Structure 1
Amino acid sequence: MSPKKIPQRMCLGCKQMKPKKELIRVVRAPDGSIFIDLTGKKSGRGAYFCRDPKCFDKALKEDRLSKALDCSIDKDTIERLKEEVIESEAL
């Protein structure tokens, strides 16, 4: 029997492939709302980050998040997501 395959995703900040469960998923839902999905199972277009807030900041600075989610993101949403990333790092 072969070992079970672990899904890998790329962090938008540091551009490293890591196991999906180690990353935070940001989702753009079909209705256009953007939020953090800690379960990793909600429907919508997703982008992944390390739990390090530096990776999140780097991806925002280089506009990688809006490109990955295929939409523009307003400043209020960015601030809310930053707070959620910091909170999830504490978990």
Structure 2
Amino acid sequence: MKKRKIPLRKCVVSGEMKPKKEMIRIVRSKEGIVSIDPSGKMPGRGAYVSIEPTVVKKAWDGKILDRILEVPLEDTFYQELYDYVDHQKARRELFGNE
């Protein structure tokens, strides 16, 4: 049986290449609205961040996503992203990779 190719993406914070399932996509729409994209299929400019709370904290401290997506982001968005990543990491530890 053929092995399936695993799509890799690069984390904009750490620069690591990881499987797409281990990353979260942040997307900026044409209107400039930035949101978390759990499906990875929303239209717009995307950036990938590792599902690691320390990586999100580093992005928050350095305002990295502001520069990558070329739009100023509120601290509330970074807090929402941090909470989401923290939740996803806890789920993976409980239930394993799905």
Normalising by structure 2, what TM-score?
A: 0.76
Contiguous gaps of at least 5 residues in structure 1: none
Contiguous gaps of at least 5 residues in structure 2: 92-98
1:25 and 1:85 mapped to 2: Cα distance? 11
User: CA RMSD, aligned part only?
Assistant: 1.9
Normalising by structure 1, what TM-score?
A: 0.81
The Cα of 1:10 is off from its aligned counterpart by 1.1
- What's the CA shift string for 1:28-84, capped at 9, x where partnerless? 122222221111111111111111110111122222211111111012222222222
Alignment-derived partner of residue 18 in structure 1:
18
Higher normalized contact order (CA 8 Å, seq sep 6+, divided by chain length): 1
Aligned amino acid, residue 39 of structure 1: S
Identity of aligned residues (%): 37
Number of aligned residue pairs: 90
Which structure has the bigger radius of gyration?
A: 2
